Structure 1
Amino acid sequence: MPSLTQKMKNTGARLRAVAVPAAAVCLAVALTGCGRADITAPSSARAHPATTSTAQAARFGSVDCREVKCIALTFDAGPSENSARLLDILKEKQVPATFFLLGKRHIEKYPELVRRMADEGHEVASHTWDHKILTRIEPDEIREELQRPNDEIERLTGRRPTLMRPPQGRTNDTVHEISRELGLAEVLWTVTAKDYTTTDSALIRKRVLAQADRDGIILLHDIYDGTVPAVPGIIDALKERGFVFVTVPQLLAPGTAEPGKVYR
């Protein structure tokens, strides 16, 4: 019977097989916008805040990204066997993150880590159930890919996700409409380390630091061996540059992510 480590390596290899051939496409999509939807920058969301309840406002904490230089650290495709160590690092560094989780073989395998993420103040969001490319499947399949992880996350944490990240950043009008129906906003990224292509933690750190800017959204994957060891250096270096780490909802506050819209 394969070991847990080997199973996770197999999962990583499966995602890498999808991600590596599409790396250029993925980046191009993220930079040019997906489908025909307008992409909203965090500064624009903050400039046009919707009515926010007291309960929602409390989640944003004391950080005001209109006044300070904010950046959001996000992790896709977990939880994994590396997530506990990552959570230890984030707790030690007092840094919140946003986790876009997979359902099959991840949420269902590590429910205690999903609870821990929520309990320690991180934003828990969806990366679909089985990493299917949403623009290649039928509407009913899209709905299932998005609804199943929502149901599981809500069962485990008591809070239903309001954010999702489409695999490879690929989305279109149908995805926007179903996301709106399910109460989900789509979140892309501005910084990618392409950590699915390397186990070199120093290189991952270098790539992130070269692209980091105010209101940035950093994309990493804690399922890959080189990523979690790179995180302390990324955090320390960006703090030295005056960045404040926030979750994606904090980055948008006092605005809120609107279902069916795309943010980057």
Structure 2
Amino acid sequence: MTDDIRTAERLLEDLRNAIARLALELDCRDEGDLVRLRLVLAGRPPPIAFPDNVTCGIRPLTHENTAGFNATAFFEGESASLELGKLALGDLTRWLGVRLRHEPTGTQLHFTLGARLVGLPDGRDAAVLRAMIANSENFFRYLSLLLGTLGEGLFGTESTGEGQWVRQLGQPGASLLEPLVRALCQGGPELEQIDRLIKRLEDPSGGASVVPGEFLELWESFARFVKTTTNKKKKGRTS
């Protein structure tokens, strides 16, 4: 490693520390199916001086622009905000990827920052969950996490998908019945968590849910118990 590279690394590390001390906010503006993001600084921090031979790119971690948006002028205080493009609601997170590059040596430093989300559209949490559980296979994997301690290995390994789940006992929904009954008898939080999951996976536009119809039929037998338990808890808190 040459002295020039060592000097460049120290320079980039100093810039990283200065950027990390900033309080960043992501201003979210709903634009139909997408959310426009604008990066702003909370308060009035002193500007960061960037050498002419150092570039800075920043992007939402889930954005397709992997090179990042040029953020040098923003951090130097020359602009009050920085447009960071648009994202689908389900892809929206507080995490930003930052890339610092020393052009003469090609030395780069990559790191992640968290920003406070401002003006977050309604339904964001549900949209993120729907994006993560995009099909029935992932739905059953999620259930295996909720019921795994009750199911005694019915769900197998991580590679177990909907097809394997159906093959295990031959009838759709059958392999879930026993752990669901156990959850009901033990009075744990699992059934309430499943009830919230099903509601959050509903498509607000009225489209098809990723929750399989055969599971919804099975779930109807448990839903009324969940509702009764929830009502009792609410009455207990108000009495």
More relative contact order, 1 or 2 (CA 8 Å, 6+ apart): 1
Which protein is richer in strand relative to its size? 2
State the TM-score, normalized to the length of structure 1.
0.23
For the pair shown, which has the larger CA radius of gyration, 1 or 2?
Answer: 2
TM-score (norm. length: structure 2): 0.24
The answer to which structure has the higher helix fraction is 1
